Amino acid sequence: MRPGALIDYALSLFGVRFSWRSEITVWEPETRFVDIQVRGPYAEWVHTHTFEDVPGGTRIRDHVRYRLPLAPLGNIALPVVRVQLRRIFDYREAVTRRLMAE
């Protein structure tokens, strides 16, 4: 991992397949990293991952700044997108907790 690294994904949402490319723009091992969407479904996607030492482990936090395409019309989909993102991050948290407990 390093600034400038590109990561390609093939995803499916509601049965629709699409590609997504992210670029790592900030890489500070043990503290944070930031990825931005270079190509994908959002008009903007900036995802900051932070890591903090806490008693008994590490706290992982995510902050995502995003905008939907085709605004203002695309904003009609915001409630559905928010639910989907919450599900994705809840799933990732559960998997991370399970893997770290092993």
**pLDDT score at 71:** 83
Confidence grade of residue 93 (pLDDT, cut at 50, 70, 90): very high
Confidence grade of residue 90 (pLDDT, cut at 50, 70, 90): very high
If we measure between CA atoms, which residue out of 67, 2, 59, 54 comes closest to residue 33? 2
Q: What distance in Å separates the CA atoms of residue 89 and residue 66, rounded to the nearest whole number?
A: 15
- Assigned token pair, 93: 């948290």
Q: What is the pLDDT of residues 12-44, one digit of tens each?
A: 877 889 999 999 999 999 999 999 999 999 999
Do β-strands 6-13 and 16-28 pair in parallel, antiparallel, or remain unpaired?
Answer: antiparallel
List the chain domain ranges: 6-101
> What element of type H or E holds 70?
none
**pLDDT score at 26:** 98
- Give buried/exposed letters for 26-55 (b at 16+ CB in 10 A, else e): eeeeeeebbbbbeebbbeebeebeeeeeee
The domain made up of 6-101 has a fold known as: Alpha-D-Glucose-1,6-Bisphosphate; Chain A, domain 4 (3.30.530)
